[in-house]
Amino acid sequence: MPECDVLVVGGGVAGLRAALAAQEAGARVALLSKTHPVRSHSAASPGGFNAALSTEDSAEQHAQDSAHASAGLCEFTALETLCEEAPQEALRLDHLGVPFTRTHEGALALRQLNGSRQPRAIFAADFTGHVVLHTLYEQLLKAQIPVYDEWCVTSLVVDCDQCQGVLAFELRTGDIAAFAAPAIILATGGAGRLYRRSTASRSCTGDGMSLAYRAGLRLVDMEMVQYHPLGFRAHRAFASEAALAEGALLCDMAGRPLLQPGSPVTRDALCRIMAETNGEQQKDGWFLLDMRPLGKDVIASHFQHLHRIANDLAGVNIDHEPLPVRPLAHRLLGGVETMLDGATALPGLFAAGECAWLGVHGANALAGNTLTTSVVFGRRAGAAAAAYARAARPTPLPEAVVNDQYARLHAIFSRPASEDTVARISHDLAALMDEYVGLVRDGSGLASAAEQLIALQERYARVGLRHHGKIYNAELLAFFELASLLDVAEAVIAAAQARKESRGAHYR
């Protein structure tokens, strides 16, 4: 295994930015990821990257809009840091070669996303996250940072109250290894797969949150599950809210607009409007996104990705007909409690991106802030981890920790297979979260969810695997991912029960 000062777990935008920053600070860096980095969920952030770049805008206005969207639950110091450092990170990405959309004069084009009073999101048509992810990965290759993709981390190695490494198994071989490093950065992404109706990629199973939780760290604001209003029918795809900002209409099934064009409504408020409209007027739960007011030229230049996937996945040509949409679970706004530099309460462990909590989003994330948060605080975590590693004394991991992991796998394989399966428990968990811990919640439903979750945890403790092979054992991977999802579900349900009020994404 590599000798490194900083080990980054996760290959999305936050992980890549952290790895580059750590190397720039003089550290030896390695990156470990469950998927290949360019398949990370960061690619699914279409709308833009918020940064106050225009003369009419400012970091103060950006912070005020974000604080208003957060329903007053944000940590303002973290929010100020985000807004002040966003412009320099935006220009850094531009200089690295991210192909952002530009005006006829050659300047960076800006679009106004929902909840913002100014156009402040730089963008690349409607696949901004995709091009940012690929550009950062190119820089990782240029920097010759070793990447270990298709490795699933199963636990943190904690000794003498310090995080000293991770245990992981390789999907393609089934080999188990210990990765030692003075500083570990968790950048594993979110846990959207808790929900069946979700925009999340298959890899979004809350691994980093669960690893930290089992190590005794706090998870904060876990009740805040943000929904995206423009999810596709029967698919995990979604349309960028930039469509509404640029003049598309969101209508009920009778064609009546829910909003005036360009209304500066936040994401949580729009989802509540849709939930209330659905209860009063509709029974099927679907709405219509009408892109036709934008015209074919704007659709072709700004929404080419939506045009293609709407046709491929939903069979809808948005040039000529509206697209059926509905709210889908989008991302968890809570995560592992961290400081502004990504440090957690466990020495040697840092976190960044969607698995980390700094209080930036509060009860609702401003559209366009998520990608910015990953880049800004990914850089800060990388630099801080490198500084920590310089002062830390490397400690070799004992061989016993790997042997313990082998014993754990043997115990899992020794369980007898039955009619119950990992896939069935995962399906039941997602259905449970959809029904009782979704967009609209109530006390009795949350109590029922807590009771049923205990039964799912008991089933998980008994379930056996049907496939015992080592090479690409998808059932074994799903087994570990389900453990993470059950941990995160427990935190989400408990936090939702504790917060009696309705605030932002928590609509009770």
DSSP 294: G
User: What average pLDDT does range 237-263 have in this prediction?
Assistant: 87
Q: Which amino acid is at 368?
A: G
Residue linked to tokens 């991106």: 353
What's the number of CA atoms in the CB half-sphere (13 Å) around residue 82? 35
User: What average pLDDT does range 305-331 have in this prediction?
Assistant: 93
**Strand runs (DSSP E) across 273-431, as ranges?**
287-290, 323-332, 335-337, 349-351, 356-357
Closest CA to 222 of 371, 370, 336, 329: 336
Residue linked to tokens 């985000």: 82
Beta bridge mates, 227: 329
Q: Which amino acid is at 432?
A: L
Closest CA to 181 of 214, 153, 207: 153
Question: 356-357 and 335-337: which strand pairing?
Answer: parallel
| Band of pLDDT at residue 406, cut at 50, 70 and 90 | confident
User: What average pLDDT does range 415-426 have in this prediction?
Assistant: 94
Residues 356 and 16 sit within 8 Å (Cβ to Cβ): no
> How far apart are alpha carbons 367 and 331 in whole angstroms?
12
Instruction: Give the length of the chain.
Output: 508
Across all residues in the chain, what is the average pLDDT? Answer: 93
> How far apart are alpha carbons 197 and 431 in whole angstroms?
9
Q: Which amino acid is at 484?
A: S
In the predicted model, is pLDDT for residue 281 greater than 80? Answer: no
In the predicted model, is pLDDT for residue 288 greater than 60? Answer: yes
Q: Which of 267, 326, 380, 441 is catalytic?
A: 267
Kindly state the tokens that stand for 359: 């209080």
If DSSP codes are grouped into helix, strand and coil, which group holds residue 55? coil
Angular region, 169: left φ>0, alpha ψ -120 to 50, beta rest: beta
Q: What is the pLDDT of residue 242?
A: 87
User: What average pLDDT does range 40-58 have in this prediction?
Assistant: 93
- Opening angle at CA 223, ends 78 and 336, nearest 5: 50
Q: What is the pLDDT of residue 398?
A: 76
Greater confidence (349 vs 47) lies with 349
DSSP 303: -
- Active-site residue 267, yes or no? yes
Q: What is the pLDDT of residue 279?
A: 60
pLDDT digits (tens, 9 = 90+) for 157-169: 998 889 999 999 9
User: Which H/E stretch holds residue 242?
Assistant: helix 242-245
In the predicted model, is pLDDT for residue 234 greater than 70? Answer: no
> How far apart are alpha carbons 9 and 6 in whole angstroms?
10
> How far apart are alpha carbons 43 and 37 in whole angstroms?
10
pLDDT digits (tens, 9 = 90+) for 438-478: 999 999 999 999 999 999 999 999 999 999 888 999 999 99
Q: What is the pLDDT of residue 66?
A: 96
Closest CA to 348 of 150, 118, 165, 94: 165
Kindly state the tokens that stand for 86: 């966003």
422-436 vs 474-498: helix axis angle to the nearest 10?
20
User: What average pLDDT does range 290-308 have in this prediction?
Assistant: 93
Closest CA to 188 of 492, 390, 485: 485
